[in-house]
Structure 1
Amino acid sequence: MSADDVIQAHMKALKEGTGKARALGQTLLNVPYGEGDGEKLDVYIPSTNSLEMPLVIYIHGGYWQFLSKEESGFMAVPLVSKGVVVVAVDYDIAPKGNMDLIVSQVRKSVVSVVQQYSHISGLYICGHSAGAHLAAMVLSTDWSQYSITPQIKGAFLVSGIYDLLPIMSTYVNEPLKMTEEVAVRNSPTTLVQQLKSSSSDCHIVVAVAQHDSPEFRKQSEEYYKMLKTSALNVTLEDVPDTDHFNVIERLVDEEYHLTKVHLLLKMMGKC
């Protein structure tokens, strides 16, 4: 398949998974978390009378320039049936959004969710590719600048990008227009000490696909080592028989490795 065909197939798979999730039960769509047009989220709610439900925030990938919450509900398929609330977050993709804005929006979405769902039993965060980068940036937030400090119990970072400098000279940066200064301040690898102070109690899983590109594998392994060296609670999960795209697509499949040993569910004590 050509690169364009791979991306189109990926978008189709995620969209179909999101359709399945929306058919499962109650949803709240297009909930604003800010005043901007792109500052909206979707909520997938389990059928349960319990108020003490864990909640997962999912942040989509797409190199910060495609995909949206409309393809991000698929995560709810294996989770809602286990009594987990799933929130899919939108942000202003490039070129409308730049890296500083996107990171700020995602952080703001987490604050909004915590304020709206203060009764949850635990907050977890998950992201794929560029979304894993954004999830890592959430973990590295200086929450003293915000009205609330979210207590994030677990993070699931799948095939992420943690150092933005290598992509500055690639086509990915054309719509983002990052300078070196912007890339450095938005690279999780430069913010490990901040993460250590803000998310020391969080269990972090760095997952990478067996057939991810060498750069993705290298970045995941290096970021894991940095977190481990900082004495953080971190696990590296090398997912067999997967590539950069189906490593996340297949979470709708009950027989899939990550679904069977679903690390988010394990964190929550749900399996």
Structure 2
Amino acid sequence: MGGWWDMAAEELEQQYSPSRWSPRLGPDEVIQAHLAAAAAGTQRARAGAQTSLHVPYGDGDGEKLDIYLPTDPSGTFPVLVYIHGGYWQCLRGIYLCGHSAGAHLAAMVLATDWTEYGVVPDIKGAVLVSGVYDLEPILHTYVNDALHMSREVAQRNSPLLHIAPAAPAAAACKVLVAMAQHDSPEFRRQSREYVLALRAAGWSVSMLDLAGVDHFDIVEKLSEDSYILTQVILNMILRA
């Protein structure tokens, strides 16, 4: 049985272009709808929370984050760090949530040997949504026109290739890998293989295959209380 390396360039372009797989809208329309949904969700969140916006965490222009706090931030509360997608272009308990390329970045956090930096972050859970975990196939797609990754860089930054046996702290971290029914077969394959690799290394990992959603509305629906992924994330945090 062949793998991604047997695909023609046109097929790889198709597989790693999530907007081409939505049954709801055309490629351009689904991206515009996703941007509009994200902007509207941001406005709702800012209206209902205390915020510290554009807080720098590095020297680069893009190295900023937005912090949302409860309206009454008394006592302790968990922290959810959400990393958006866009193919890397566009000490309370910490929970990571990443979508698409953001899921890759969250997975790289899990793959990091933090002892090299003299810290042990208290990461209690990670929700990785429609992610990409092996970057080598992307070398042969339009995405690399902007990234200019070499094979060595792609392999060094592929979390699927850098899964260490789960230490006690890692074993306590709950990992959920979610994928959409209408993600491309390659995105779905990568999610399944990443789950199997984590499980084989002793990580506490589960997989959620969400029906009726595509690469974009799988996260747009997180604003809905009744959405299963919303409920799973809240349960993960509340049970800790």
Q: Provide TM-score, normalisation by structure 2.
A: 0.85
Instruction: Work out whether residues 211 and 244 of structure 1, in 8 Å CA contact, stay in contact via their aligned partners in 2.
Output: yes
1:212 to 183, 192, 199: 183
For 1:268, what is the secondary structure of its paired residue? helix
| Corresponding residue number in structure 1 for 2:210 | 239
1:179 to 137, 144, 150: 150
C-alpha separation in 2, matches of 1:199 and 1:37:
32
For 1:162, what is the secondary structure of its paired residue? coil
Shift of 1:203: 0.3
Q: Provide TM-score, normalisation by structure 1.
A: 0.76
Q: Which amino acid aligns with 2:218?
A: V
For 2:164, what is the secondary structure of its paired residue? helix
Unaligned ranges ≥5, structure 2? 1-24
| Corresponding residue number in structure 1 for 2:43 | 19
Shift of 1:49: 4.5
Q: Deviations over 1:169-215 (max 9, x none)?
A: 00011100000000000001111116x34723210000011111101
| Corresponding residue number in structure 2 for 1:266 | 235
The answer to whether structure 1 residue 30 and structure 2 residue 54 are counterparts is: yes
C-alpha separation in 2, matches of 1:32 and 1:147:
22
For 2:215, what is the secondary structure of its paired residue? coil
Greater radius of gyration (CA): 2
| Corresponding residue number in structure 1 for 2:81 | 57
| Corresponding residue number in structure 2 for 1:137 | 108
Shift of 1:263: 2.1
Q: Deviations over 1:96-140 (max 9, x none)?
A: xxxxxxxxxxxxxxxxxxxxxx3x2x1100000000000000011
| Corresponding residue number in structure 1 for 2:95 | 124
For 1:12, what is the secondary structure of its paired residue? helix
C-alpha separation in 2, matches of 1:59 and 1:241:
23
C-alpha separation in 1, matches of 2:149 and 2:110:
21
The answer to whether structure 1 residue 248 and structure 2 residue 223 are counterparts is: no
Q: Label 1:243 to 1:264 Cα distance change in 2 as closer, same or farther (>3 A).
A: same
Q: Deviations over 1:145-192 (max 9, x none)?
A: 324221100000000000001111000111000000000000011111
Unaligned ranges ≥5, structure 1? 67-117
Shift of 1:63: 1.3
Instruction: Work out whether residues 140 and 199 of structure 1, in 8 Å CA contact, stay in contact via their aligned partners in 2.
Output: no
For 2:172, what is the secondary structure of its paired residue? coil
Shift of 1:30: 1.0
| Number of residues of Structure 1 aligned to a counterpart in Structure 2 | 215
Instruction: Work out whether residues 154 and 264 of structure 1, in 8 Å CA contact, stay in contact via their aligned partners in 2.
Output: no
More divergent stretch after superposition (132-141 vs 31-40): 31-40
Shift of 1:270: 6.2
Alignment of 1:14-163 (within 5 A): 14-66=38-90, 118=91, 120=92, 122-163=93-134
C-alpha separation in 2, matches of 1:50 and 1:205:
29
The answer to whether structure 1 residue 193 and structure 2 residue 164 are counterparts is: yes
Instruction: Work out whether residues 203 and 234 of structure 1, in 8 Å CA contact, stay in contact via their aligned partners in 2.
Output: yes
For 1:212, what is the secondary structure of its paired residue? coil
For 2:81, what is the secondary structure of its paired residue? strand
1:228 to 199, 204, 209: 199
